[in-house]
């Protein structure tokens, strides 16, 4: 019987894409997938190292899977933690048989090691020693999507130097993929909605000035939109949101703007080593709304970054009130090793951080609920993700709320429904079954 593998994915959508590529590679090499970790010959944990909490969850998961795996099964740790803390993990995690950073993917040893992956080794099968560059992982094939939507990662790494962020230090500088490889992946996925992701999406192409160049995200969005009914963009750094990009998004079938704002106080944004200020952001948002009344907005904010004063916090509260965004995620600042901010003075005490974030979340929850109430009686087009669950352009998969729809609607189809009720972040369409318990509405770090 073919060796079986089990993959557990933690962290962000970008990690899910990596996992799918690992799965695609292992399947191509003749292994079979299993949902039962106790039956797998190879157990892979794709970890997240975003903040302390994510690292703890990754370690807990590794240890739990190590306990549950069957005798002789290999445990492989990959993803951000493996990349960032590889040496420490190797020294302190004897449970893991292999720690594989992004440059070292997974190989069954069953066929020729063309992709040089070293994951599924069985006794007696030689490991391939040379790591492959992480860029190769980006361009590996993927199986058709199991859901009507799918993430597509268009670049890896980041060239910015935001004070709180360790990502560039372990994901490296930005490397944009070829347009042809992205479009091929879109075709392979056979999904109705493609969600483009990267660390800094709007910077796509800047690292390849000869072939692509700044602003090439616009043409890419147009080309992807020509292939699928819906193209959604996640994580837009606000300075690169050009008029052309706004036009391309408005024409993509998904007028949804995920703006990575992080704060609005100008002085504080400079401390964060970021661009912009609340006034500019409000102007841009108003401008987009004047072009498309149905435009939906999401953003993320960091609360309690060193030096955040009462005045900075008040500015953020006023902005949240005035901008009236559909969705917002608020995250407590977490000092990250190797970042600019880790040694800054004026660290905000934890108690104050909790108070500030609670105040912001309470305010935003009320705004989100009232925006959802306003949709009662509206007629919207949904994509049916699973029986009884759909999404319009206003809801990003796995991040925002959902729309409950009649279970008779076929998964993968588009349907036009009338909204009959709102329940917090979720909407209920006419004819939907009573509460089926599949509400989402979770925020995401991004
Ligand atoms: S926060 Fe985003 S844009 Fe800033 S350095 Fe990190 S990945 Fe890059």
What pLDDT score does 245 carry? Answer: 97
The best mutation among 162, 203, 273, 341 to test binding of ligand 1, ranked by most ligand atoms within 8 Å of the C-beta, falls on: 162
* Closest C-alpha among 347, 334, 330 to residue 48: 334
Say which residue the tokens 């998004």 belong to.
249
Task: Tell the residue nearest (CA) to atom 6 of ligand 1.
Answer: 165
pLDDT > 70 fraction of the chain, expressed in percent and rounded? 88
Q: Assign 250 a pLDDT band (cuts: 50, 70, 90).
A: very high
Question: Over the chain, what is the mean pLDDT?
Answer: 86
pLDDT computed for residue 259 by the predictor: 96
Q: Tell me the CATH number of domain 379-429, given options 3.40.50.300, 3.10.28.10, 2.40.50.140, 3.40.449.10.
A: 2.40.50.140
CA distance 61 to 275: 37
119-177 residue pLDDT tens? 333 222 222 323 333 445 666 677 788 899 999 999 988 999 999 998 888 778 999 99
Q: pLDDT (tens digit, 9 = 90+) per residue, 317-353?
A: 999 999 999 999 999 999 988 899 999 999 999 999 9
Cα separation, 357 vs 364, in Å, equals 10
Q: Are strands 149-153 and 74-79 parallel, antiparallel or unpaired?
A: unpaired
The verdict on the CB of residue 200 being under 6 Å from ligand 1 is yes
Please indicate whether residue 199, judged by its CB atom, sits closer than 6 Å to ligand 1. yes
For residue 16, the CA-to-ligand 1 centroid distance in Å is 19
* 51, 155, 160, 207, best to mutate for ligand 1 pocket (most atoms within 8 Å of CB): 160
Query: 174 CB under 6 A from ligand 1?
Result: no
CATH code, 138-371: 3.80.30.20
The whole-number pLDDT of residue 222 equals: 97
Position 103 scores a pLDDT of 52
Which ligand 1 atom sits closest to the C-alpha of 237?
A: 3
- 76-120: pLDDT as tens digits: 898 888 878 878 888 888 888 888 765 544 444 332 222 333 333
> Is any ligand 1 atom within 6 A of the Cβ of residue 235?
no
- The answer for residues whose C-beta is within 8 angstroms of residue 437's C-beta and 6 or more apart is none
- The residue ranges of every structural domain in the chain are 4-136, 138-371, 379-429
Q: Which of 390, 321, 306, 316 is nearest to 356 (CA)?
A: 316
Distances (CA, A) of 441 to 3, 192, 365, 391: 37, 22, 11, 12
Atom of ligand 1 nearest to the CA of 158: 8
Contact yes or no for 101/83 (Cβ under 8 A): yes
Q: Which residue has the higher pLDDT, 361 or 145?
A: 361
Per CATH, the architecture of 4-136 is what? 3-Layer(aba) Sandwich (3.40)
Match 């100008």 to its residue by tokens: 266
**Of all atoms in ligand 1, which is nearest to the CA of residue 159?**
8
Which of 204, 160, 149 is CA-nearest to residue 178? 204
Ligand 1 pocket, 184 CB below 6 A? no
What is d(CA 38, CA 109) in angstroms, rounded to the nearest whole number? 22
Q: What is the position in ligand 1's atom list of the atom closest to the CA of 274?
A: 4
Cα(85) to ligand 1 centroid in Å equals: 19
Element (H, E) at 167: helix 167-171
CA 160 to ligand 1 center in whole angstroms: 6
List the end-to-end C-alpha distance of the chain, in Å, as a whole number.
Answer: 40
Of 394 and 97, which is predicted with more confidence? 394
Residue % of the chain over a pLDDT of 90: 66
- CA dihedral for 134, 91, 8, 197, sign (positive or negative): negative
Q: Is the C-beta atom of 158 inside 6 A of ligand 1?
A: yes
Per-residue pLDDT tens over the stretch 176-233? 999 999 999 999 999 999 999 999 999 999 999 988 988 899 999 999 999 999 999 9
Q: Is the CB of 162 under 6 A from ligand 1?
A: yes
Write the pLDDT tens digit of every residue in 59-70: 999 999 999 999
Q: Is the CB of 10 under 6 A from ligand 1?
A: no
Rounded CA separation 430/438 (Å) = 17
| Probe target for ligand 1 pocket from 154, 165, 299, with the most ligand atoms within 8 Å of CB | 165
Contact 167 CB / ligand 1 (< 6 Å): yes
pLDDT at 29 over 50: yes
CA distances from 243 to 201, 239, 240, 253 (A): 15, 11, 9, 17
Cα angle 246, 250, 252 (rounded to 5 degrees) comes to 115
pLDDT of residue 120: 33
Quote the pLDDT of residue 128.
Answer: 32
Greater confidence (43 vs 104) lies with 43
Q: Is 168 in the pocket of ligand 1 (CB under 6 A)?
A: yes
């Amino acid at each position: 019987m073919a060796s079986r593998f089990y993959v557990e994915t933690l962290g962000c959508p970008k990690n899910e894409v990596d996992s799918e590529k690992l799965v695609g590679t292992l399947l191509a090499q003749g292994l079979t997938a299993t949902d039962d970790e106790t039956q797998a010959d190879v157990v892979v944990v794709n970890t997240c190292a975003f903040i302390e909490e994510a690292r703890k969850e990754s370690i807990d998961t590794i240890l739990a899977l190590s306990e549950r795996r069957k005798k002789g099964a290999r445990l492989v740790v990959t993803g951000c933690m493996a990349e960032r803390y590889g040496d420490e993990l190797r020294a302190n995690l004897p449970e893991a048989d292999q720690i594989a950073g992004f440059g070292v993917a997974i190989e069954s040893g069953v066929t020729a090691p063309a992709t040089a992956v070293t994951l599924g080794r069985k006794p007696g099968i030689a490991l391939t020693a040379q790591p492959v560059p992480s860029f190769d992982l980006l361009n590996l094939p993927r199986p058709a999507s199991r859901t009507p939507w799918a993430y597509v990662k268009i670049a890896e790494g980041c060239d910015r130097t935001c004070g709180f962020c360790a990502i560039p230090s372990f994901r490296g500088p930005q490397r944009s993929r070829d347009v042809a490889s992205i479009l091929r992946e879109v075709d392979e996925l056979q999904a109705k909605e493609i969600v483009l992701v990267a660390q800094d999406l709007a910077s796509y192409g800047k690292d390849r000035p000869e072939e692509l160049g700044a602003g090439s995200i616009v043409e890419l969005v147009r080309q992807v939109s020509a292939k699928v009914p819906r193209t959604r963009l996640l994580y837009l750094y606000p300075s690169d949101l050009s008029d052309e990009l706004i036009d391309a998004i408005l024409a993509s079938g998904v007028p949804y703007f995920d703006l990575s704002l992080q704060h609005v106080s100008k002085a504080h944004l400079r401390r964060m080593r970021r661009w912009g200020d609340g006034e500019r952001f409000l102007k841009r948002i108003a401008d987009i709304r004047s072009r498309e009344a149905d435009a939906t907005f999401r953003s993320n904010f960091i609360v309690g970054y060193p030096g955040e004063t009462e005045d900075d916090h008040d500015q953020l509260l006023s902005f949240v009130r005035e901008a009236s965004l559909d969705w917002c995620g608020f995250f407590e600042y977490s000092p990250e090793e190797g970042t600019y901010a880790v040694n800054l003075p004026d660290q905000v005490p934890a108690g104050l951080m909790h108070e500030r974030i609670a105040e912001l979340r309470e305010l935003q929850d009320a705004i989100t609920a009232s925006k959802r109430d306003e949709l009662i009686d509206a007629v919207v087009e949904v994509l049916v993700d699973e029986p009884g669950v759909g999404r319009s352009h206003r809801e990003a998969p796995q991040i925002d709320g959902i729309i409950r729809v009649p279970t008779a609607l076929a998964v993968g189809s588009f349907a036009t429904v009338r909204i009959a009720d709102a329940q917090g972040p979720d909407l209920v369409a006419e004819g939907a079954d009573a509460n089926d318990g599949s509400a989402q509405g979770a925020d995401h770090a991004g």
